[in-house]
Each structure stands twice: as structure tokens, then as C-alpha cells.
Amino acid sequence: MNDVILNSIAETTTHRDRDGVHCAIVQLLLDFLDAESVAIYSLVDDGGVTRLLNYAEVSRGNKHTSQVRSNDLSTLRELSEIPEWESCVRRQQVVQYTPSAGIVHAVLPIEAEREVAGLLFINCRTRLRARVIDHINAILRILKNHLALLDYGELDTLTGMLNRKTYEASFEKLRQRLRLADAARGMKEPSWLGLVDIDKFKCINDNYGHLFGDEVLLLVSQLMKKSFRGTDQLFRFGGEEFVIVLDHATTEGVEVAFDRLRETIAAFEFPQVGRVTISLGYSQIYPTDSPSTCVERADAALYYAKHHGRNNIRSYEMLVAAGELSAKDGGENVELF
């Protein structure tokens, strides 16, 4: 590798967010390989179906790297639709194939721990030689190591969820997507924020000790991860509170999703502790929201749920419509009757 490529590799490690790292990597590889296009995909589980989520893509002649992530799973292709890509994941090896004369597609696995978490797709004119593939794999290892360092700062150490510090930056990116969608065609299926609180968690710590309390937190987080789509974002907000950002869901769909989580946790047998329940308040996310105002609305609904029996979910918008909550200044300040 020449000095230009080495400097480009060094430049990728200056980024402190995943989107920036992915964009830098695809641009670096486009220049290094003289390829027609380069893209990075993440593998997302959608109820047992693996879908391809495009993180970043750049093509020859396009000066700007695009972040083309879509959280609408219904728009994402299934991995099984592309046999060569599915083979790459299954064998965990590079796959090269020629879809038409003069065009070569190369797909390389991006590994996380012991499994393939993503794919690197390269559209070029000739097959990649073994030495070039070795260089690409070295770049992917740098990518993996740098993302692991980012995870250390972005993830909660106990649950592995995103931590509160990353919420604001993540929310801002979501709000930008909402504004673009709203300006283009309006939101057919809105996005939602749910605030989860474990009922009587202090009693669990007092009666069983903090070790069992931590185990409850860990198990609740695992149940949450199994209950939502790979594109939905889960945060541990602190203590026994969690935040769920659920993209693209109807009013009926979000109610079903959140109540399914409540039922799943209520039915689970926690070691030593037994049954545990949660209360959940949620609100729609609007393009004009700030990270705090949306949480405040969800928190008002959660507060209502806590004081009306616990082990239930409440919608801020429905409570306002029913006259149970009063909204002031666009719903940012809420008072309980």
C-alpha cells in the first residue's frame, strides 16, 4: 500500500461515529481499488429473515459518499434473494462472480466476534487478486477494531445496549430523516419513542441484593432485544429505565409491539426473583422534536401508567385525546389532572 492509502486509513480512525467510519471506508476502498462502486451492508434479523441494511455507498463519478440507511424493513432486500451473497455469509469467505460481461462483483464478509455481521460489496471491472483481497481484509480488521473502540464508549457495559450519551446524537439523525421524509411525501408510518421502567425495582434490590437486580436488568434487556426489529434502537437510559426508538409503525402496530414486550416480560420467570413487570409510556416522534421534549411526553405517559396499576402501557397522544393529560406548548409541557 502506498502512503496515500495509509494516510486514508489513518484518517478513518479520526471519526467518532459509525456513519462517519463507514463512509470513510467505502471512499478509501473506491480510491484504492479503482472500483466502480463500493458499499457496506449490515445483516439485520427481521423475525428470522435476514435482510440487507445499506450503511454507506459510493460510486465512481459521485464525489459524495451517501448514507442510505433505511429503517423501514419492508423496503430491504432479503439475503436469500442473492445466492452469491448468501454463500459468502454461510462460508465466511470472499465470493466473486460475473453478473455480465466486463463486470465483476466481489462480496467480502465483515465479521463480528464469531459470526458475519455485514458485507462489503465491490463492483469492479476485473477479479480481485489474492494480494488485494488480503489488503482489503486488513482494512476490514482495522474497521472492526475501531468500531469496537466506539462501542466501548457508546454501549452500556451491563446490558450491551446503547447508552444515554449516544441517545441525543442518534435522535438528531432520526429527526433529520423524518424532516426529509416529511418534506418529500409525508410520513406514512411514523416513528415512536417508548420509555420503559421496571416496576418496583428498588424492592428487588432491597430484597434480593444488587447482583440479582443486575441480573434482572440484563435479562430484561435481552428480552427487549428479542422483541424488536434489528433496526429499532434500544437504550439503557439509567438505572431501571430503558428507551426504545421504533421506526416506521402504525398507531395500531406500535401498540401491539409495546404490549407484546410487556406480556413477554410479565410471563418470564426470573431466577430467584420470580415475576417482574414493566410500565411503558410512549409518544410519536415529530420532525420538530428535540431529544428532551419527546422523552418528556413519553415520561408523562409512563408516570400515568405507574399510577394506574403498573404493568401497562400508555400512549401520550391517546391520553391527551381522552382528556387524561393536558398538553401545553405543543405537548412539551404536560400536567396530570
Confidence of residue 330 (pLDDT cuts 50, 70, 90): very low
Q: What is the mean pLDDT of residues 102-128?
A: 91
Confidence of residue 331 (pLDDT cuts 50, 70, 90): very low
* Whether residue 194 sits in one domain with residue 134: no
82 or 23, greater pLDDT: 82
* Whether residue 112 sits in one domain with residue 203: no
As annotated, the active-site residues are 240
* Whether residue 325 sits in one domain with residue 207: yes
Among 154, 177, 206, the domain-final residue is: 154
- Is pLDDT at 332 greater than 50 in this prediction? no
Q: What is the mean pLDDT of residues 205-214?
A: 95
75 or 211, greater pLDDT: 211
- Is pLDDT at 60 greater than 90 in this prediction? no
**Above pLDDT 90, what percent of the chain?**
53
* Whether residue 98 sits in one domain with residue 18: yes
* Whether residue 167 sits in one domain with residue 147: no
* Whether residue 286 sits in one domain with residue 147: no
Listed in sequence order, the residues at least 6 apart from 174 whose beta carbon sits closer than 8 Å to its beta carbon are 191, 245, 247, 285
- Is pLDDT at 224 greater than 90 in this prediction? yes
Nearest to 36 by CA among 97, 102, 119: 102
Distance CA(20)–CA(136), nearest Å, equals 19
Confidence at residue 112, expressed as pLDDT on a 0 to 100 scale? 77
* Chain mean pLDDT for the chain: 86
- Give the containing element (helix H, strand E) for 23: helix 18-33
Among 99, 122, 154, the domain-final residue is: 154
Question: Any idea which residue has 434487556 for its cell?
Answer: 221
In terms of residue numbers, what domain contains 16?
3-154
Q: What is the mean pLDDT of residues 128-138?
A: 92
* Whether residue 176 sits in one domain with residue 81: no
* Whether residue 328 sits in one domain with residue 182: yes
* Whether residue 24 sits in one domain with residue 167: no
Q: What confidence tens digit (pLDDT) does each residue in 244-300 have?
A: 998 888 899 999 999 999 999 999 999 999 999 999 999 999 888 888 999 999 999
Q: What is the mean pLDDT of residues 293-310?
A: 95
271 or 331, greater pLDDT: 271
- Is pLDDT at 183 greater than 70 in this prediction? no
Q: What is the mean pLDDT of residues 46-51?
A: 84
Q: At 236, phi and psi to the nearest 5?
A: -95, 115
Q: At 238, phi and psi to the nearest 5?
A: 130, 140
Q: How many CB atoms lie under 10 A from the CB of residue 93?
A: 12
* Whether residue 147 sits in one domain with residue 22: yes
Task: For residue 277, give the 3-state DSSP assignment.
Answer: coil
Confidence of residue 71 (pLDDT cuts 50, 70, 90): low
* Whether residue 319 sits in one domain with residue 172: yes
- Is pLDDT at 234 greater than 90 in this prediction? yes
**CATH number of the CATH domain containing 57:** 3.30.450.40
* Whether residue 209 sits in one domain with residue 173: yes
Among 118, 136, 154, the domain-final residue is: 154
- Is pLDDT at 5 greater than 70 in this prediction? no
**CATH number of the CATH domain containing 235:** 3.30.70.270
Domain total for the chain? 2
Confidence at residue 14, expressed as pLDDT on a 0 to 100 scale? 72
